[in-house]
């Protein structure tokens, strides 16, 4: 599901070697649909396909708009995953699903563990948490990956917007008191492929995991790395690193409140699956090179 999103696109590459892959988006093909707002269509599509693994990369991801389109966000992020979970349970299929650091309230400055209490600050976060809980309550076999600050070489995201604004504007102000790890869709997809392979062989590995790149930064630190990379490649930018100013979240009001502490501890993921999360800068530089190099 969600084959054309940032993560969905990379999953198409990373999951291809694991077996026959059938990809769906919100539009119907051959009587099948991956439209998460069409609960009946979704259910009958899963029943028809009878997959061993369902990977759901589709979501309502417009965080601010979700404050207004509350019912639609709930339908896509919570009710549709519940249907996928019911169907996965009936088929004994493994359901792979993604969630977010926005399930936390952003307090403190230590990385969040999977066992920490969740308290979303906005409706998007609440719907994503409800989706997680639907999977867990259903009793289906599942892998849920909470990730953060997702970017990819294609699609629209902070990385692409900032890279453009640096060329267009002579100065920028970027939030410096929200801290997390920019995480590439490539990394998410590659980790997902490893995890599916291992969880299919060992059911004790199923469950909830935090999946984010290594290290941490603020949006301001992230923007500075993007500016430095462009300068290093000789790309003309007006908003050079010294012309990117830090501002607090309070100076940038948005309809949806964001957590200040988005750090996700990945030790469980690394231990269970024998993986090591690379520093966040590696993937960012790679995505910049793919996009602009």
Show which residues are catalytic.
Answer: 124
On the CB side of 185, CA atoms within 13 Å amount to 23
- Nearer to ligand NDP (CB atom), residue 80 or residue 237: 80
Q: Which is nearer to ligand NDP, 35 or 87 (CB)?
A: 35
Strands 183-184 and 94-100, by their bridges, are: unpaired
Q: Which of 45, 74, 100, 178 binds ligand NDP (CB under 6 A)?
A: 100
Binds ligand NDP (CB under 6 A): choice among 61, 74, 122, 224: 61
Q: Which of 23, 46, 53, 60 binds ligand NDP (CB under 6 A)?
A: 60
Site size for ligand NDP (CB under 6 A): 26
Q: How far is the CB of 21 from ligand NDP (least distance, A)?
A: 16
Q: Which is nearer to ligand NDP, 134 or 148 (CB)?
A: 148
58 binds ligand NDP (CB under 6 A): yes
- Cβ at position 5, least distance to ligand NDP in Å: 2
Give the x-and-dash track for 17-56 against ligand NDP (CB under 6 A): --------xx-------xxxx-------------------
Which DSSP string do the residues of the chain spell out, in sequence order?
--TTSHHHHHHHHHSGGGS------SS-BTTB---TT-HHHHHHHHHHH--SEEEE------TTGGGTSHHHHHIIIIIHHHHHHHHHHHHTPEEEEEEEGGGS---SSSPBPTTSPP--SSHHHHHHHHHHHHHHHHT-EEEEEEE-SEE-SSS--HHHHHHHHHHH-S-EEEE-S-EE--EEHHHHHHHHHHHHHHHHH-GGG-EEEE---BS-EEHHHHHHHHHHHHHHTT---SS-GGGEEEE-GGGS--SS---SB--B--HHHHHHHT--PPBHHHHHHHHHHHHH-
Out of 148, 178, 230, 261, the only residue in the binding site for ligand NDP (CB under 6 A) is 148
Cα dihedral value 58, 63, 69, 75, nearest 10: 30
Helix-helix angle 185-201:280-292, to 10 degrees: 120
d(CA 213, CA 145): 13
Task: Report if residue 2 touches ligand NDP, rule: CB under 6 A.
Answer: yes
Q: Tell me if 214 contacts ligand NDP by CB under 6 A.
A: no
Q: Is 143 in the site for ligand NDP (CB under 6 A)?
A: no
Query: Interface with ligand NDP includes 76 (CB under 6 A)?
Result: yes
Minimum gap (Å) between residue 148 Cβ and ligand NDP: 5
Q: Is 147 in the site for ligand NDP (CB under 6 A)?
A: yes
145 or 229, CB closer to ligand NDP?
Answer: 145
Binding segment for ligand NDP (CB under 6 A), chosen from 59-67, 214-222, 229-237, 269-277, is: 59-67
Residue from 112, 149, 219, 280 touching ligand NDP (CB under 6 A): that is: 149
Residue of minimal CB distance from ligand NDP? 5
Give me the residue label for tokens 């999103």. Answer: 5
Residues binding ligand NDP (CB under 6 A): 2, 4-8, 25-26, 34-37, 57-61, 76, 98, 100, 128, 147-150, 155
């Amino acid at each position: 599901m969600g084959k054309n999103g940032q993560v969905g696109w990379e999953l198409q590459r990373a999951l291809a070697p694991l077996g026959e892959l059938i990809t769906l988006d919100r539009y119907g093909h051959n009587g099948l649909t991956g439209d998460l707002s069409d609960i009946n269509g979704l259910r009958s599509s899963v029943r028809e396909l009878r997959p061993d693994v369902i990977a759901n990369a589709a979501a309502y991801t417009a965080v601010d708009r979700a404050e207004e389109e509350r019912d639609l966000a709930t339908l896509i992020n919570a009710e549709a995953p519940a249907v996928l979970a019911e169907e996965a349970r009936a088929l004994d299929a493994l359901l792979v699903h993604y969630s977010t650091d926005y399930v936390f309230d952003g307090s403190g400055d230590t990385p969040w563990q999977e066992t920490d209490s969740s308290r979303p600050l906005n409706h998007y976060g609440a719907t994503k948490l409800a989706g997680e809980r639907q999977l867990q309550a259903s009793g289906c076999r599942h892998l849920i990956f909470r990730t953060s600050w997702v970017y990819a070489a294609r699609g629209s995201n902070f990385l692409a917007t900032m890279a453009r604004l640096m060329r267009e504007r002579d100065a920028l102000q970027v939030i410096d008191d929200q801290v997390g790890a920019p995480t590439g869709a490539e990394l998410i997809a590659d980790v997902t492929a490893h995890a599916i392979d291992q969880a299919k062989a060992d059911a004790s590995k199923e469950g909830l995991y935090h999946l984010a790149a290594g290290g941490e930064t603020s949006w301001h630190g992230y923007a500075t790395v993007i500016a430095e990379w462009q300068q290093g490649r000789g790309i003309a930018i007006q908003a050079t690193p010294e012309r990117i100013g830090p501002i607090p979240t309070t100076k940038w009001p948005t309809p949806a409140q964001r957590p200040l502490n988005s750090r996700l501890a990945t030790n469980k993921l690394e231990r269970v699956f024998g993986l090591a999360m690379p520093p966040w800068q590696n993937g960012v530089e790679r995505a910049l090179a793919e996009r602009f190099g």
